[in-house]
Structure 1
Amino acid sequence: MLSLIDWDKGTFKTDFFIIEEIFFMAEIIDLSQEIYEGMPMHHSMAPVNIRVHATHEQWAKEINPQTHTPSALRLEMSEHTGTHVDGLNHMGKEFAAQTIDQMPLSMFYTEGICLDLTHKGLQELISVEDIEQAVQIAGLSILQGDTVLLCTDHYRKYFGTDNWDKGPGLTVEATRWLGKQGISAFGVETMSPGIPKLTNQEVHQICGEMGFTHYENLINLHLLIDRGRFRFIGLPLKIRGGTGSPVRAVAVFE
């Protein structure tokens, strides 16, 4: 139980020990898309709808107010909106019990690496060899429990264009290879981890079978290239029975 917090020094003093919180000196890189009405969405998911639910003027019971200042918004959107993580139950009906609220939080708070795959073009497959080469060039290793982010720069090149849904995607073999490394998750900038109608369904199935997940619609991955290892955080909302959740994904360099 916290008994004193010294915010100026970034020190948390408890009844048992003192923790110097390094996040006060950390560099935090936002990896998350903005959520807004009309944003590009996967064709199978509901569009984002944002409305004013209440205003400060309503709460104050003002008569004929000259302003309408929102005090609360109403959001209607899919669990798979913008930057999000998939629940294992999203991968297939045989994984129905593994809902987003039942998955351990340790899957979403991990060490991470980012691999440079910016040479991959539209609807080009990412193979095992591509990943192995990227790991070697980066001088990194994939460790058990990691989150592996795949930078294709697709977001900066094509977000909001007719090619946005035509990004690169993993092969079935590359997905299984990543799973064999014991990772918690991988992440992509595209709307799907595989190429739709080619590998995407099987990529999801393999994630369910092997017990790891993936993030979609990440941004700013180019800022992580050649930076080494970092702390990755992509905590989901605790949606009862959820098949996924929007996240505020970040990379933290300590």
Structure 2
Amino acid sequence: MTAKKIPEIIDLSQEIYDRMPVYKKLPEVKIDVHASHEEWENLPSSDKTPSVLILQMGEHTGPHVDALSNMGIPYKTHSIDKMPLNTFLTSAFCLDFSHKEPGELIEPEELIEACKSSKNKIQEGDTVLICTDHYKKHFGSASWAKGPGLGAKATRWLGEQKIAAFGVETMSQGVKGISNKEVHAICGEMGFTQYENVINLDLLTSRTRFPFIGLPLKIRGGTGSPVRAVAVFY
């Protein structure tokens, strides 16, 4: 009998935890005990072991995907619960931009060269992951909110390749105060989305094309959702 081959799964998701860093003025993450095992069993305890936690956070917390409705008023009907599931289960590969410093833009010619270097060609419906190593270098520091990101021209070039999505390690896909609003608008206009706060992308830059999964919660009218993003290798 042939042994069943177990796939290798690389977790691409940050933890979600109480008071974690969030983008600008997004809702603060609060996690507390709603009910404990001791309470259910009428046992005295000064240290509750949680049975049910309360989670209070915005949709765009930690590793998450944006709905097209997040991109602007013209796309308000394209909420996360209405987007096709095959948007979030795709073929993918990862490009190495670990040389980029905080605040630097990624331009179209750099994407083209990175594809050549990785020996990957973007196919329609792909997810393109962009490794800047910003998470490992700067998470928890003053530079964390100042990551490198896509420029408007680079975003439009990705849209012209008819991708499903792209993903970044940073809290914003563009550079804050320079390209971020334009990147959102272009994604809405061209009908593709993005993941933010994904991690471990440095483990993927030397790997071949792989299945990517980043399924959102089915939030009615949601403008985005946390995801458990993974790369799968068989």
Q: Quote the residue 2:197 is aligned against.
A: 217
Query: Which residue, 107, 112, 126 being the options, matches 1:146?
Result: 126
Query: Which residue, 147, 151, 158 being the options, matches 1:167?
Result: 147
CA drift of 1:67 comes to 4.9
Taking only aligned residues, the RMSD between alpha carbons, in angstroms, comes to 1.3
1:27 aligns with 2:8: yes
CA drift of 1:193 comes to 0.6
Question: 2:223 is aligned with what amino acid?
Answer: T
Question: 1:31 is aligned with what amino acid?
Answer: L
CA drift of 1:168 comes to 0.6
Question: 1:57 is aligned with what amino acid?
Answer: E
1:237 aligns with 2:217: yes
SS at match of 1:25: coil
Q: Report the Cα distance in structure 2 between the residues aligned to 1:129 and 1:225, rounded to whole angstroms.
A: 18
Q: Report the Cα distance in structure 1 between the residues aligned to 2:201 and 2:28, rounded to whole angstroms.
A: 25
1:200 aligns with 2:199: no
| Count of residues paired in the alignment | 233
Paired residues of 1:57 and 1:67 also in contact (CA < 8 A): no
- Provide Cα deviations, 1:81-139, integer angstroms capped at 9, x if missing partner: 00100010000011100000000000000000100111111100100011000000001
CA drift of 1:44 comes to 2.0
Q: Report the Cα distance in structure 1 between the residues aligned to 2:137 and 2:47, rounded to whole angstroms.
A: 39
Paired residues of 1:150 and 1:186 also in contact (CA < 8 A): yes
- Provide Cα deviations, 1:143-180, integer angstroms capped at 9, x if missing partner: 00000000010000000000001111111111011001
Paired residues of 1:147 and 1:183 also in contact (CA < 8 A): yes
SS at match of 2:123: coil
Query: Which residue, 74, 81, 84 being the options, matches 1:104?
Result: 84
1:46 aligns with 2:50: no
Q: Quote the residue 1:93 is aligned against.
A: 73
Q: Report the Cα distance in structure 2 between the residues aligned to 1:82 and 1:103, rounded to whole angstroms.
A: 20
Query: Which residue, 3, 17, 39 being the options, matches 1:36?
Result: 17
Q: Report the Cα distance in structure 2 between the residues aligned to 1:26 and 1:95, rounded to whole angstroms.
A: 37
Matches within 5 A, 1:117-156: 117-156=97-136
Question: 1:91 is aligned with what amino acid?
Answer: M
Question: 1:120 is aligned with what amino acid?
Answer: K
The structure having more radius of gyration, on CA atoms, is 1
CA drift of 1:9 comes to 6.4
Q: Quote the residue 1:17 is aligned against.
A: none
Q: Normalising by structure 1, what TM-score?
A: 0.89
Q: Which runs of 5+ in 1 are unaligned?
A: 1-7, 11-23
Q: Which runs of 5+ in 2 are unaligned?
A: none
Q: Report the Cα distance in structure 1 between the residues aligned to 2:122 and 2:156, rounded to whole angstroms.
A: 14
Report runs of 4+ in structure 1 exceeding 4 Å deviation.
none
Q: Report the Cα distance in structure 1 between the residues aligned to 2:47 and 2:185, rounded to whole angstroms.
A: 51
- Provide Cα deviations, 1:3-40, integer angstroms capped at 9, x if missing partner: xxxxx965xxxxxxxxxxxxx52110000000111211
Q: Report the Cα distance in structure 1 between the residues aligned to 2:56 and 2:139, rounded to whole angstroms.
A: 22
1:252 aligns with 2:229: no
Higher RCO, 1 or 2 (CA under 8 Å, sep at least 6)?
2
Question: 1:122 is aligned with what amino acid?
Answer: P
Q: Report the Cα distance in structure 2 between the residues aligned to 1:215 and 1:200, rounded to whole angstroms.
A: 14
CA drift of 1:68 comes to 2.0
CA drift of 1:223 comes to 0.1
Q: Report the Cα distance in structure 1 between the residues aligned to 2:99 and 2:223, rounded to whole angstroms.
A: 32
Question: 2:62 is aligned with what amino acid?
Answer: G
CA drift of 1:66 comes to 5.8
